[in-house]
Structure 1
Amino acid sequence: MVDPRRIVIVGTGLAGASAAGALREQGYDGDLLLVGEQRHRPYELPALSKGILLGDTDDPDWVHEESFYAEKNIDLRLGTRVSGVSIGDHTVDVDGKRESWDRLVLATGSTPRRLRLPGHDLDNVLRLRRLDEARALRRELTEGRDVVIIGAGWIGCEVAAAARKHGANVTVVDVLPQPLHRVVGDTVAGVFRSMHEDQGVTFRLDTGIAEYVGENGRATGVRLEDDSVLPADLVLVAVGAYPRTELAQEAGLALSDDGGVQVDATLATSAPDVFAIGDIAAHAHPRFGRRIRVEHWANAKDQGAHVAQNLLGASEPFTASPYFFSDQYDLGMEFRGLTDPFSDELVVRGDLGTREFIAFWVRDGALQAAMNVNMWDDGDTLGALVDKQARVEPAKLVDADLASLMG
């Protein structure tokens, strides 16, 4: 493979900026264009639903210092739209100008889903994905306001915790029977539900919404499918996200069944010289033996750092296990691996009641995933066990020294 003279990265989020930084760290001195629509320089997303909403900080964790891009001769173009990709002549259309590339990285991320029901365009029906949205949402979370959150996933639960800290009245609505149900299953989900209820959150579960009720351009309530109406000064819609694959699709790249961009183990797409990373990448993971698409912070950061070597001629598979974390009230947790909580065996080490435990998910004697909750001593060991898909007896996960299970 001939060394590229010019690399273009589309997407100025964590994945794209991590790739650009890693290219310079690995000695690439060719032209490097990092271009995307967001106005702020690249930042990490976790603080948006955590520290910023809680009022602990005004800023996210920036991927690099402001001076980094000029110092490293990275052509960073913010607030700039890429409207097309031509695989055949190796160009992208940037604000109407054709830019050439020898290697192309698509890191276009994802966007929050909408519920296009009556009233969805009212001014105070919000979503959370960008820094400006987080700052605006924090200003709305004040004492005594009625906040309705649609969706009891990680974002919904973290926003609920922040809203309660600020004294808002919080109701969380979801069509599923428990918060975080699809991720952790009934038993562990019950821990999160009871924690939120202890903090004053009301759940309306096993039900959907019919419409947003409003007047004068603002929502005043949310009508549920049972025709009851929840009063609302603010509505947050947190029902997941979809990958932004429009450029990839228009360019003719192969897509996966879940709508992501198909990439092989090395993060290469179906087109020569084109890679995809982060939220859009449906990755043929060597360890799991199937495609997975992960929308978490660590995946974007790690794939960005990893793809640099392959852009420069290597062919190294990306093998990291999914990882994410959450902070809600006085509960902190880390999750490693990939599980089906409804078919894998759940093993608990510690005490669910005190919210100090490690949850393991085991399939056919092999460890698939682990979540440590308010227990921090064994994080590295848990990561190694999950990466190895260690074969363990469930009883030993409960009381044995975890390091001894490495074999």
Structure 2
Amino acid sequence: MTTSPHRIAVIGGGVAAHTLVKAYGTVSAAADASDEASETMIDIFTAEPHAPYRRPEVNKGILLKGKTPADIALPGAPLEAPGVTLHLSTPVTHVDADAHTLTAGGTTYQWDQLVIATGAGPRLLDPTQNTWLNGRDVHYIRTPEHSTALRARLEELGADDTVVVVGGGVLGLEAASAAATIGAAPVHVLEMADEVCSRMLPPAASQWLRERHGENKVSVTCGLDADALAAEIDRLDPAVIVVSVGAVRDTMLAEDAGIAVGAGPGGGVIVDPAGRTSAPDVWAAGDCVEVHGELDGVEVTVRPEDEGSARALGTIVGRQLGAGNTAEAGSYLEEQRRGWTNQYGLMLNTVGEAGLVEGRREQVELSSPEELVVYSVAPAADGSGDVVVGVTTVGRSPEVRAAKGALGTVLAA
């Protein structure tokens, strides 16, 4: 016998949503022959007009290489499975966690389980506080439309023009790399922190990236306060400004529904390591979340912001839903964190906790214009030496490939 149809609603059409639907299908297929099996209807709501795509490719594919949204789309098979409906250009405007309903496109939908995968958007600067924005051609990057418009603009510029990128994080540096590759205009990166990518990378890797940009005629200036930043923009008088100063997690629907959200401007929808929110039958995954849990006996809070994390937590949530919330589907905090960026044809990869915080140090194993190996290390709990907690690499030589497996290795004191 079968039970009544089970309805799952997913808000968001990115990597997390796509991955959880795929994982759900894999797990639930094993239960199809069971007497407990039930028909499941999955509704995916996205405000965008595109089918799910790889968010990193907005920079790496569309901006740099001129690809289209179709070129960077995720495989369609999971979305074409029986019972799955993708609602494009259909933003959700309200969630009632108590009544188990949501409103989208003027229609109310009932759900048994809800997944919030609303992602994040670029942090927008206030032009009243940043007057250098006024009257200028300013671009933010998040969607395919953003990158398509910026690429077209960069192609128009000549050597007498100037491009300024405000923000020296990964996305800002990728935009600078693309601008230097696409057009003839000089490119300047302006960063308020003391180094580029300082949260993601150890100092030696940040310096390595700066050197690669310098070799490609991109000027990078760090350590600017607000006044110095404004003065530098006035001096450069850029034809185009690209602003990349972080992301804001989209928590509005969760907050309005009374679901717990982290404090501060970077706060996300609070979930446990399995993706459960504070509301029954409501889950969350992707860039919109912050994960609270215990790791090695210590309470931690992690705010993911990469494709690998979206895949990892999306998979965990999908497995939970596919097994009726009974399976040991895994813990996000036990997943290895991975990141990557491609600039000037060189792929920089990170695994683990590559950025340095108090108590950690870096150990440079290899550094050249084409290759890099940097370990981020912390004292081993038993005092036997330092343990590798993060690895940053560039290149494909045997030495580099071997170094990628060093995570967790104890280095002799």
Higher mean alpha-carbon deviation, 154-163 vs 143-152, is at 143-152
Are the counterparts in 2 of residues 20 and 34 from structure 1 also a CA contact under 8 Å?
A: no
Matched, 1:323 2:338: yes
Aligned to 1:363: 378
1:373, distance to aligned residue in structure 2 (A): 1.2
- The Cα offsets for residues 186-221 of structure 1, whole Å up to 9 and x where unpaired, read as 33211111111111011232214559xxxxxxxxxx
1:326 is paired with a residue of what secondary structure? strand
> Deviations along 1:36-81, whole A, 9 cap, x unmatched?
111111100122211322226334421223x753444311001111
Structure 2 gaps, min length 5 = 30-38, 380-385
1:127 is matched with 140
Q: 1:185 to 1:135 in 2, by over 3 A?
A: same
Alignment of 1:231-380 (within 5 A): 231-257=237-263, 258-287=266-295, 289=298, 290-311=300-321, 312-313=324-325, 314-316=327-329, 317-318=331-332, 319-343=334-358, 344-350=360-366, 352-364=367-379, 365-375=386-396, 377=398
2:28 aligned with 1:10, yes or no?
Answer: no
Question: TM-score, normalising length from structure 1?
Answer: 0.85
Structure 1 stretches of 4+ moved >6 Å:
378-381
1:98-117 paired onto structure 2 within 5 Å:
98-116=108-126, 117=130
Task: Measure the CA separation in 1 of the matches of 2:74 and 2:399.
Answer: 27
State the AA in 2 paired with 1:135: T
1:239 to 1:132, Cα distance in 2 relative to 1, 3 A: same
Could you tell me how far 1:241 is from its partner in structure 2?
0.2
Letter in 1 for 2:240: L
Post-superposition Cα deviations, 1:78-123, rounded to whole Å, max 9, x if no partner, equal 1111111111111111123221111110000000001112364657
Number of residues paired by the alignment? 378
Contact kept, 8 Å, 1:331 with 1:373, in 2: the verdict is yes
Contact 2:372 2:400 in 1 (8 A): no
Partner of 2:21: 20
Partner of 1:215: none
Letter of the structure 2 residue corresponding to residue 91 of structure 1: T
Contact 1:358 1:375 in 2 (8 A): no
Say if 1:261 and 1:385 are closer, same or farther in 2 by CA, change over 3 A. Answer: farther
> Does structure 1 residue 38 correspond to structure 2 residue 48?
yes
Structure 2 residue corresponding to 1:63, chosen from 61, 74, 78:
74
Cα distance between partner residues in 1 of 2:405 and 2:396: 16
**Paired AA for residue 330 in structure 1:** G
- Residue 412 of structure 2 corresponds to which residue in structure 1? 393
SS in 1 for 2:146: helix
Pick from 40, 45, 63: which aligns with 1:53?
A: 63
Alignment of 1:180 with 2:197, yes or no, is yes
* Residue 157 (structure 1) aligns with: 173
**What do the CA deviations read for 1:322-362 (whole angstroms, capped 9, x no partner)?**
11111111321111112451531111212x23341211111
Q: Distance in 2 between matches of 1:226 and 1:163?
A: 19
Q: Partners in 2 of 1:122 and 1:226 — Cα distance? A: 16
Change (3 A) 1:341 1:45: same
Q: Distance in 1 between matches of 2:135 and 2:181?
A: 26
User: Among the aligned pairs, what percent are the same residue?
Assistant: 25
Aligned equivalents of 1:24, 1:380: Cα separation in 2: 34
TM-score w.r.t. length of structure 2: 0.84
Aligned position for 2:32: none
Once residues 12 and 379 of structure 1 are traced to their aligned partners in structure 2, the CA distance between those partners, rounded to angstroms, is 36
User: C-alpha separation between the residues in 1 aligned to 2:374 and 2:196?
Assistant: 17
Contact persistence 1:22–1:305 (CA under 8 A): yes
Q: Which residue of 2 aligns with 1:219?
A: none
The reply on whether 1:170 has 2:187 as its aligned counterpart is yes
For the aligned residue pairs, the C-alpha RMSD in angstroms reads 2.5
The answer on whether the counterparts of 2:376 and 2:391 sit within 8 Å (CA) in structure 1 is: yes
Q: 1-side partners of 2:240 and 2:337: how far apart?
A: 33
Q: What SS is found at the alignment partner of 2:19?
A: helix
Question: Residues 382 and 292 of structure 1: is their aligned pair in 2 closer, same or farther, counting only changes over 3 Å?
Answer: farther
Gaps of at least 5 residues in structure 1 are 212-222, 395-407
Matches of 1:103 and 1:379 in 2, distance apart? 44
**Does structure 1 retain, via aligned residues, the 8 Å contact 2:346–2:370?**
yes
Whole-Å separation in 2 of the counterparts to 1:103 and 1:382:
42
Matched letter for residue 52 of structure 1: I
| Matched position secondary structure for 2:152 | helix
Determine which of 143, 149, 174 is the counterpart of 1:136: 149
